[in-house]
Amino acid sequence: SRHEVAIALRKLEAIADAANGAPVVSIIMGSDSDLPCMKAAAEVLEQFGVAYEITIVSAHRTPSRMYEFAREADARGVRVIIAGAGGAAHLPGMVAALTPLPVIGVPVKSSALSGNDSLLSIVQMPRGVPVATVAIHNAANAGLLAVRTLGAADPTLRRKMAAYMESQEAEVLCKADKLEK
Ligand code: RP5
């Protein structure tokens, strides 16, 4: 229910607040209904020990909040923004238009068009204003892409990513082994 989602969001916000240091990654979403999808990004950042914040910013319902958020993110120390939205998903693109920071867009699966509307709204940006778009409802990949982006200037994060990839490979090989027997 909406109430449970609100509690889950507050819990995630509290965990994020407790993490050391100012948030380096900002996870925003158009609605509380996006949280079941977007929490996967937060889980990845926790796993990699990256300080993040998570909140609701709506391009259509809270345009002033979106403007302020995007304008101030860089000065607050945010380095990567993950923005999820569904339907007429203008949030990632509008935020990218207002900040020099990299923006990763997550097309949230909508009920009417299964997220195809979200995907096209996010991915078809005009030249000059890029948004790195992940697959429909794949917020985990947005988290991983944020870690890789930060990792470009952080050897510790690159090592952690390499270890993650190795463990993923080992997991699949183990499954293949079991399946073959
Ligand atoms: C978008 O509209 C949100 O990102 C969400 O995916 C969708 C539906 O929002 P609600 O009507 O559930 O608040 O702005």
Q: How confident is the model at residue 155 (pLDDT cuts 50, 70, 90)?
A: very high
pTM of the model: 0.90
Return the structure tokens found at 24.
Answer: 């380096």
ipTM above 0.90, yes or no: yes
What's the pLDDT tens digit per position in 5-34? 888 888 777 766 665 579 999 999 999 999
* Torsions phi, psi for 75 (to 5 deg): -65, -25
Q: Measured between alpha carbons, how far is 166 from 12 in angstroms, rounded to an integer?
A: 28
Which atom of ligand 1 sits closest to the CA of residue 85? 4
pLDDT in tens, 108-153: 999 999 999 999 999 999 999 999 999 999 999 999 999 999 999 9
User: At residue 57, does pLDDT exceed 80?
Assistant: yes
62 touches ligand 1 (CB under 6 Å): no
CATH number for the domain running over 2-154: 3.40.50.1970
Q: Is 115's C-beta closer than 6 angstroms to any atom of ligand 1?
A: no
Closest Cα partner for 144 from 35, 9, 48, 78? 48
